[in-house]
Amino acid sequence: MNLSDLVHVPLNTGVFYALPFLLALTVIVFIHELGHFLVARWCGVDVEAFSIGFGREIFGWNDRYGTRWKVAWLPLGGYVRFRGDANAASMPDAEALERAKSEPGNFHGKPVWQRAAVVAAGPVANFILAIAIFAGAFMLVGKPVIEPRVDEVLAGSAAEAAGIRKGDMIVSVDGGAIADFADLQQAVMSRAGEPLAVIVERSGERLNLTVTPQLREEPDNFGGKIRIGLLGIKRDPMGPVRYERMGPVKALEAGVSSTWFIVRSTFSYLGKLFTGRESPDQLGGPIAMAKAAGDAASMGFSQFVRMIAFLSVSIGLLNLFPIPMLDGGHLVYYAVEAVRGRPLGEKAQEWGFRIGFSLVIMLMVVGTWNDLVRVATVWFGG
């Protein structure tokens, strides 16, 4: 069965978007938690539970090391619980801290570098998954290559103001080589309002131009808008597209590059958000992610797998944010412990987790509110 069969349903409610989304999320969560699990085992930590989902267990089994592997009713995440943890967020049990050093398998009795390695392994596994997916796609399917030739210059656009003409070939942007249209889009989409040095080839000559991408709002196919930098040039949609397969080494390099582009774009957006140059209305919640996964699945297996890679990077990056309760918050605690020579006090950690929980809930509320506004826009107009 093609994944598109799951989403080609004559309903506008989006209910069936949940199926591809839950499948993608399950894969991503499993790999994330497997990263924690494998490094924990390598460090000699006893793993009490490996759960996909939260809440009551649907089914599960115990392995020979005593780990309970289970699937729970709420499939919106997962966790690995180590010996000494008080809960799924890996907060230390107060009593367990007292006896941690005398228990070889207690997570909280391990050296700080081992605890940090275990915590960092989850997000790192997400990045590895994304790199592997991108690299595999480049080897098996190939990278779509569209010649960066200008077929049309829009009136009043940044390209027209800079002197770019129909027929020009874009050679480089700000010193970065442009091999195809995808490279060009990546080079300008997050650079709105910034003057860029562009080299174009025209009638066998290379010309140096300066172009400032214009900030434009483009529809995100769900009633919302995304703000990106645009030059105002078009290519012929019927123009030739070739797929360039890569060898393992080159595909791996391209996979790392694709993953890094997602990370860089995310930080660019966040930087502009904190400086007031971007709006939080571009943040999405579970509905937006389900919509994206469903749309990708409707376009075929290859596109769906690429969406898994994108979501994997996003979730791995989110978990590295220095927010107590997330992996990044734990890493901050361990950094403080390494500097001080002792962990933060129980009260400080407890308040940190409370603040972190509040921040996570706030992000979820903002993302979900934006989703609901987009749904309302689609359904009721306006």
pLDDT digits 0-9 by tens, 143-154: 877 888 888 888
pLDDT of residue 218: 64
Positive or negative: CA dihedral 336, 352, 126, 59: positive
Residue pair 21/315 in contact (Cβ under 8 Å)? The answer is no
Distance of CA 201 to the CA centre of its chain: 35
pLDDT computed for residue 330 by the predictor: 86
pLDDT for the residue numbered 32:
95
SS3 content of the chain, % helix, strand, coil (to 5): 50, 20, 30
DSSP 276-322: TSS-GGG---HHHHHHHHHHHHHT-HHHHHHHHHHHHHHHHHHHTSS
* pLDDT tens track for 87-140: 555 565 555 566 666 678 888 888 899 999 999 999 999 999 999 999 999 999
What are 98's two structure tokens?
A: 């007292």
Alpha carbon distance 46, 66 (integer Å):
8
Task: Tell me which amino acid residue 174 is.
Answer: D
pLDDT of residue 147: 83
Task: State residue 41's pLDDT score.
Answer: 94
* pLDDT given for residue 116 in this prediction: 94
| Residue 33 falls in the annotated catalytic set | yes
d(CA 66, CA 89): 20
- The pTM (predicted TM-score) of the whole model is 0.74
Most distant pair of Cα atoms in the chain: their distance? 77
Q: Which pLDDT value is given to residue 3?
A: 41
Closest by Cα among 120, 99, 147, 143 to 38: 120
pLDDT value, residue 68 = 94
pLDDT at 10: 38
Angle between helix axes 286-298 and 18-42 (nearest 10 degrees) is 110
* Distances 32 to 98, 112, 265, 276 between C-alpha atoms, Å: 29, 21, 22, 33
Domains and CATH numbers, the chain: 3-141+310-380 (no CATH), 144-244 (2.30.42.10)
pLDDT by 10-residue block (mean), the chain, 382 residues = 39 57 88 96 93 91 92 88 70 59 79 93 95 93 83 87 89 87 82 87 89 75 62 78 88 92 78 64 58 63 82 88 83 87 73 71 62 49 46
Catalytic residue among 33, 147, 160, 253: 33
Q: How far apart are CA 370 and CA 19, in angstroms?
A: 21
